[in-house]
Amino acid sequence: MKLLNHPIDMIAIFEIGGKIVPFKFKYEDKPVKVGKIVKQYREKLAGNERIVFVCMNNGKDLYELKYELDSQKWFLFKK
């Protein structure tokens, strides 16, 4: 996986109860649909709390997405 840490536009589902589900994001002007969430965990880095999603697309492409809780921004961290 290649380290990117690019801010991205994301369509996500925020369920009642606080669960966040990433649905689709734009990378290099192409839409990428999140097929499956392989792993999800929280991390705290320099005081910023983030939710990390390791996602799969087309059964082969792995992406690591991060949602920063304080700024409410999404990042494509690894591809």
Please give the chain's pLDDT, 79 residues, in tens: 778 889 999 999 999 998 999 999 998 888 999 999 999 999 998 888 999 999 998 878 899 999 999 999 999 998 8
d(CA 7, CA 74): 6
pLDDT number for residue 7: 93
d(CA 64, CA 47): 20
Structural domain for 63, as ranges: 3-78
Q: In what order do the strands lie in the sheet with 10-14?
A: 10-14, 20-27, 30-33
pLDDT number for residue 38: 94
- Measured in degrees and rounded to the nearest 5, phi and psi for residue 17 equal 105, -10
Q: Into how many domains does the chain fold?
A: 1
Start-to-end CA span in the chain (Å):
5
Mention every residue, 6+ apart, whose C-beta is less than 8 A from residue 29: none
